[in-house]
Amino acid sequence: MVKADTVSWEDPVLKRWLGTISKPGTKANYKTAFRAYTLYTGLTPSQLIDEAIEDSKHDPRQKQDVLLTRILGFYGWLKKDYEKKSRGQGEHRIVGKGLSDNLAHLFVSAIRSFYQTYELTVNMRGRQRLPRPRTENKRMIVGAEQVKVLVDHARTPRDRAIILVHFQGGLDVSTLCSLRYKDVAQGLAKNEHPLKLDLQRPKTGVPFYTFIGKDATEALRAYLADLKSRDIQLTPNDPLFLQDRGREGIRTANVQDMLREVTLKSGFIDKTNNGNSHNPLGPHALRESFGSIMANSGVPDSVVDFWLGHEVGALNEAYKSVQFESLKQMYLAREKLVSISTPKVDVEELREKLKGEMEQQNKQLQVLVNSLVTENMDLKGRMQAVERKLGDIERTVQEIRKTVD
């Protein structure tokens, strides 16, 4: 039986197939799928092709649909028995069994691509169609309060800076990992607020800029101070975020693993679910949350897309030059929505404000007292007038009595 770790990618059958795939990421995923398929079938690439060709030669009444049966069985095995292993450095241990619907579909697509290279088509229609994937891996849309919890549970100054730059800038993880020290050095030296990041997305080559607020800027300063305390001085072209050891830049897998660890420590996912590869608060969730917050606060969709590094056509040049100041003010007006810090209290300002309020209250109280004094004096005058009238009446009555007597 063929073992998953003994697949030879120099096999001519596999080289022909893999030669049709241009994207490195897709090729890596398809290799993983093929390892799983050989583990499931126990056959070599040539044996798999020979088996399918032999079956295709049979009279339709005698065909056993070996290919379709294999793939349907493979899908069921992936969902139920495929062993998932832990990620990251060190020994990989089994953390659970069964893939998600989406990943199982991806693996099946890879195997169908393998057969299609040799003009062996698998028709999966009607009852033979795979179950539709369930949307079980939903991302969380979070606000500043939840991001603060993540930051509070981050292990290092670097991790805190990564989370905040990610969230306040709306960066995708590839762009974050491509940041160089020169991208922030000048802005930090000038105390820019918000700090502008001139960027280019590695995947699409689209040039754009975005901003980060005070929280992310202060976190960057703390991270760089931590590097300096460890005798690490970055040069302009050095990666901004380094791996835990050495001077190599972080990779997307490092960021994903870090965020999963922080999300787990923060209590957003349960420890019993640690075997699930999906993190609802992964890098893309922070990016989507930034976009959602900005869009829901009235920022035009085209501006949000520009900040996210999407292609916005003719508007790209306008945003890069003419409308820079308006976009900056637009971000500043909404910075509080992505800020995790409590506004600092200016004691002197607070004292002056309280003093002013007390003086105003004293003035109002004095007006009230003066009004009462005036009323009191008026009332006293009236009472005296009444007393005089009563005295006059009493004297008049006495005179009348004397006349009558």
Burial of 385 (0-12, 13-18, 19+ CB in 10 A): exposed
Place of tokens 């798999």: 48
Examine the domain organization and report whether 308 and 394 are in the same domain.
no
Nearest to 213 by CA among 284, 165, 152: 165
Residue 85 has pLDDT above 80, yes or no: no
Examine the domain organization and report whether 330 and 353 are in the same domain.
no
Residue 136 lies in a domain: no
Q: For the residues 300-317, what does the mean pLDDT come to?
A: 84
Instruction: Specify the pairing of strand 195-200 against strand 94-97.
Output: unpaired
pLDDT, tens only, 204-232: 788 899 999 999 999 999 999 999 999 99
Q: What is the per-residue pLDDT for 344? A: 45
User: Alpha-carbon torsion 199, 175, 299, 337, what sign?
Assistant: negative
Band the pLDDT of 154: cuts 50, 70, 90: very high
Domain that holds residue 64: 4-128
Count of beta carbons in the 10 Å neighbourhood of residue 142: 22
Cα–Cα distance list, 157 to 221, 270, 363 (Å): 9, 25, 52
Examine the domain organization and report whether 332 and 353 are in the same domain.
no
Examine the domain organization and report whether 189 and 250 are in the same domain.
yes
Q: For the residues 354-372, what does the mean pLDDT come to?
A: 69
Residue 14 lies in a domain: yes
31 vs 9: CA distance, rounded Å: 9
3-state secondary structure at position 94: strand
Residue 135 lies in a domain: no
pLDDT, tens only, 322-358: 688 899 999 999 999 999 986 544 445 545 655 666 6
Q: What is the per-residue pLDDT for 387? A: 83
Band the pLDDT of 130: cuts 50, 70, 90: confident
Q: Which helix (DSSP H) or strand (DSSP E) does residue 84 occupy?
A: strand 83-85
291 vs 296: CA distance, rounded Å: 8
Examine the domain organization and report whether 121 and 224 are in the same domain.
no
The separation between the first and the last C-alpha atoms of the chain, rounded to the nearest angstrom, is 148
Q: What is the per-residue pLDDT for 25? A: 78
Number of domains, the chain? 3
Answer for the pair 27, 124: CB distance below 8 angstroms, yes or no: no
Residue 187 has pLDDT above 90, yes or no: yes
Answer for the pair 241, 235: CB distance below 8 angstroms, yes or no: no
Count of beta carbons in the 10 Å neighbourhood of residue 67: 22
Strands (E) in 165-301, as ranges, are 195-200, 207-212
Q: For the residues 158-163, what does the mean pLDDT come to?
A: 97
Residue type (1 letter), 134: R
Residue 133 lies in a domain: no
Tell me the β-bridge partners of 389: none
Q: For the residues 198-204, what does the mean pLDDT come to?
A: 84
Examine the domain organization and report whether 327 and 209 are in the same domain.
yes
Q: What is the model's pTM?
A: 0.56
Examine the domain organization and report whether 159 and 216 are in the same domain.
yes
Among 83, 99, 128, the domain boundary falls at: 128
Examine the domain organization and report whether 307 and 329 are in the same domain.
yes
Residue 295 lies in a domain: yes
286 vs 217: CA distance, rounded Å: 17
Q: What is the per-residue pLDDT for 275? A: 46
Count of beta carbons in the 10 Å neighbourhood of residue 258: 21
Examine the domain organization and report whether 357 and 397 are in the same domain.
yes
Examine the domain organization and report whether 113 and 233 are in the same domain.
no
Answer for the pair 156, 226: CB distance below 8 angstroms, yes or no: yes
Examine the domain organization and report whether 320 and 300 are in the same domain.
yes
Examine the domain organization and report whether 68 and 200 are in the same domain.
no
Q: What's the token pair of residue 2?
A: 């063929």
pLDDT, tens only, 25-75: 788 889 999 999 999 999 999 999 998 888 888 766 656 578 888 888 999
